Structure 1
Amino acid sequence: MLRFLLQRIASGAVLLIALAVLAYFLLRMGTADIAQQIAGQTAGPEQVALIEERFGLDRPLLEQFAIWAGSVFADDMGRSWFTGQPVGATVFGRTGVTVTLAIGSVLLTGVFGVILGVVAATRRGALDRVVQILAVLGQAIPGFLIAVGLVLLFAVRLGWFPATGYTPIGDSVTGWLQSITLPILALALGSVGGVAQQVRGSVLDVLGRDHVRTLRSRGLPENRVVYRYVLRNAGGPALSVLGLQFVIILSASVVVEQVFSIPGLGPIALTSTMQGDVPLVMGIVLVMGAMVIVVNLLVDLLQGVINPKVRLS
């Protein structure tokens, strides 16, 4: 198990480094005249030249990358080109909000996805068709439309939740729960159908195997067969799709946080990308990439616990 864990950690580190290199060069090649943007459109050539010298924008691209990579370890991930604030403090100060929304959404997706998937596979009928329709709709409807619909219904019309804003948990637990409920629902609703569809397919596959027919022939109750034996064997694919849904939810949170005015990574990700603030964008890329790698590592570990054969791969 230790070897399995070390292999996954090493592959995750290599993936994060490759992501950083690729993202940096793509960003820098796509941000022309960044010094002019920082200095302002009315700045003269002398001011622009000073900005280029200050941030090293006049140096070769490889040297710029080396300077940035050094700042990641030595200077709190560097400083924003536009605000001058440390990137690490800016990003980590907002990460907790985004992580809260993502974890809440994944938990909600996992619970209802598994329940709907198992019931659809064992009872079939109308509920089975509903699950398949939900899976298609979840992929077809953008997250921001779901968010707007929830705001119009539960905030504007019914007044049950605030339409926008975020209350820290330290200020009010009730206010915090109210402020994150609609964003979590907006992120989860688009993913529940896909997880339920995957669970349904996995459960149907396991139900048709010989050892399940043997268990039934021994007179074991159907619920025990399904929830103790079938669901354990079907858990591997369900975990994989749930890990994939975390990535989808994390990317969708960028827009959903903007809709609900949540002070997470989403608003600064959009702003910094439009400005071409490479150090800040790279900080967000590294943090989000690390979160995805950690979640995939946890999924791999759980897969190894459920199915020991995975540890041999």
Structure 2
Amino acid sequence: MSPGWLLRRVLLALLAAFGVSVLVFVLLRLVPGDVVTQLIGLEGNVSAAQQAEMRRLFGLNEPIWQQFAHWFWALLHGNLGISLRTDRPVFQDLLLRFPVTLQLTGLALLFAALIGLPLGILAALKRGKSADLLSSTFVLVGLAAPEFWLAILMILLFSLKLGWFPPNGYVTPAESLAGNLRSLFLPALALSFSLAAATTRIVRASLLDVLGQDYIRTARAKGLPGRAIVVRHALRNALIPVVTVIGLQVGNLLGGAVIIEQLFGLPGVGRYALEGINLRDYPVVQGAVLWIAVSYVLVNVIVDVLYGVIDRRVVYS
């Protein structure tokens, strides 16, 4: 991997982040209403002069290009702005909430790998048999069922009926590690279903393609054990498409975390963004979306780097 390639990827990531910031900034201001109208609904009757003064204090009376210039200049200095509702720095709130979202998506990735990889391998090795049919059924259900629907079913069954897991709330690892895992188990499992299904499908297809290659036939002709052929030769070469799918699906995980965090009452970045959208808190929404976008772009850079680690034939220049 050359330094020039890495520099280009970083520059492209910064360009993508800038594009996202512009798009979110403009779209937010096209939505009817603003934070002042939301506050008026909470406070009661407010005169037009008071509304105008509130918009002046929030900087909403300036032209949109000027508002963006102020926000972007602050962004270049590491300042994501101040929440219009709480008067707290957005960056500080994101730092507090991001570990929750990171832990949730990390567990979802782990569950997806633990479910998808074995099922995909089993389906490829048992092609056309009952195990393959069962895995295909799981893929169909996992890709078709909405995450929020699965989450509601899990809450009804495992929380309200069986009482195995709490229906909502979050326990920090410092308070109780076991309680932390219990509070995140159902949300992460619900979030992982679609990725587990996609992983199962791509592992099966990729492994079947690799198992049909000439070098696999040669290994079998030499008398190598079947497990060694699958693990040491076939599986490693089949992992590149799998890594690609997982990397691309991270964006879906981050997007799905918005609904999952709201359903389970998790204080993550997704719920923070949703609260900002509901109350037209522009700095919160802009900061949260930009944070998620940068995280997604960084994951894609990491995926590109992993290509070279998994397959030495992949060289970036």
Give the distance between the partners of 2:8 and 2:115, measured in 1 at CA.
32
Instruction: Tell me how far apart the structure 1 counterparts of residues 78 and 105 of structure 2 sit (CA, whole Å).
Output: 28
Q: Of 260, 265, 268, which residue of structure 2 is paired with 1:256?
A: 260
Contact 1:31 1:276 in 2 (8 A): no
- Contact 2:270–2:288 (CA under 8 A) maintained in structure 1: no
Q: How many residues get paired?
A: 313
TM-score w.r.t. the length of structure 2 is: 0.93
2:290 corresponds to 1:277 = no
- One-letter code of the match for 1:201? A
Counterpart AA for 2:14: A
In the alignment, is the contact (CA less than 8 A) between 1:39 and 1:51 conserved in 2?
no
Q: Is 2:304 the counterpart of 1:300?
A: yes
**Residue number among 31, 42, 46 corresponding to 2:45 in the alignment:** 42
Q: CA deviation at 1:311?
A: 3.0
Question: Percent identity among equivalent residues?
Answer: 37
1:286 corresponds to which residue? 290
The C-alpha deviation readout for 1:64-89, integer Å capped at 9, x for no partner, is 10111122244731111222221111
| Bigger shift: residues 232-241 or 140-149 | 140-149
Give secondary structure in 1 for the equivalent of 2:140: helix
Matched-pair contact (CA < 8 Å) for 2:34–2:280: no
Instruction: Indicate the RMSD between aligned Cα atoms, in angstroms.
Output: 1.7
Q: 1:199 maps to what in 2?
A: 203
SS in 2 for 1:165: coil
Shift of 1:307: 2.7
Please list the CA deviations of residues 54-111 of structure 1 after superposition, one character each: whole Å capped at 9, or x if unmatched: 2222222111101111222447311112222211112221111011000111012123
2:202 & 2:95 partners in 1: Cα distance? 34
CA distance in 1, matches of 2:312, 2:36: 54
Alignment-mate amino acid for residue 7 of structure 1: R
User: Could you say which residue in structure 2 is the equivalent of 1:178?
Assistant: 182
Gaps (5+ residues) in structure 1?
A: none
CA contact (8 A) 1:203 1:230 kept: yes
Query: Residues 160-239 of structure 1: matches in 2 within 5 Å?
Result: 160-239=164-243
Match of 2:63 in 1: 60
Q: Is the 8 A contact 1:212 1:230 kept in 2?
A: yes
CA offset at residue 23 of structure 1?
1.3
Checking the alignment, whether the CA contact within 8 Å between 1:106 and 1:245 is kept in structure 2 is: no
- Asked whether the equivalents of residues 38 and 81 of structure 1 are also in contact (C-alpha less than 8 Å), the reply is no
Q: CA–CA distance in 2 between the matches of 1:151 and 1:276?
A: 30
Aligned to 2:94: 91
Q: Report Cα offsets for 1:5-39 as digits up to 9, x if no partner.
A: 32322221111111111111111222445543345
SS of the counterpart of 2:167?
coil
CA contact (8 A) 2:254 2:270 kept: no
8 Å CA contact 2:171, 2:180 repeated in 1: yes
Displacement of 1:309 after TM fit? 4.4
Alpha-carbon distance in 2 for matches of 1:46, 1:185 = 51
Unaligned runs of 5+ in 2: none
Whole-Å Cα distance in 1 between the matches of residues 102 and 61 of structure 2? 37
Q: Which residue of 2 aligns with 1:19?
A: 20
